[in-house]
A = this chain, B = another copy of it.
Amino acid sequence: MARPPADGRRARGERRRRELLAATLRVIERDGVSGVSHRSVAREADVPVSSSTYYYATLDDLLIATLTWSAREMALGFGAVKPTPGSVARFLAEAVGPNRGRTLAEYELYLLAARRPELRPAARRWITLLSSVFGTMQPAAFLGFAAALDGLLIQGLIADFPPTAEQMEPVVSLLMPPR
């Protein structure tokens, strides 16, 4: 009964924090990491610039928060994928098709992580997630499989026409031994 009103200062603050992250992700999807500035994000989120610096004092804070958040979100979305060639191929096709922007953002994270150790755990979340789903494979086979998924995604991003699930399925099949 001493429950505070549901949108007090703190609640609205948290919401704005998330809105800033979402706006940053949209900017990254549209213009890449290099398009992110306190001002471009503030414009995208329709808030004053100082609001962005209030919640994320430096650009780095904002970028790191956005990319780790995005990686967590993406990992959640992978939960629905079943360990069958068809399901995996469909996931890949969607990643380089409808979710292309998001996938691009994910690989910008990869590259940023190569230069900034603090981003590496977030970048590797994807790999550990894979191992939790396909962990029953032989170690070497799994490593090759996981690497191939990354390669198929990144190559799909620079193709003139994004590959379809039908085109990818035989490749995935070959990498996934039946047992």
Contacts and interface: CB of A to CB of B under 8 A. Distances in A.
12 contacts: A107-B110, A107-B114, A107-B154, A110-B158, A120-B158, A120-B160, A127-B155, A140-B171, A144-B171, A144-B174, A146-B151, A146-B155
Contacts of A155: 127, 146-147, 150
Interface in A35-53: none
A127 to B, nearest CB: 7
Nearest to A115: B32
A62 interface: no
Nearest to A122: B158
Interface string A138-162: 0011011011111110110110100
B158 A152 contact: no
A120 B160 CA distance: 8
Contacts of A148: 144, 147-148, 151, 175
B150 A113 contact: no
Q: Which of A110, A123, A171 has most chain B Cβ within 10 Å?
A: A171
A64 interface: no
A150 B146 CA distance: 11
Q: At the interface, is chain A mostly helix, strand, loop or mixed?
A: helix
Nearest to A96: B114
Nearest to A167: B143
A108 interface: yes
**Top 3 closest pairs, chain A to chain B, by CB:** A147-B151, A150-B151, A151-B151
A117 interface: yes
Contacts of A115: 32, 104
Nearest to A151: B147
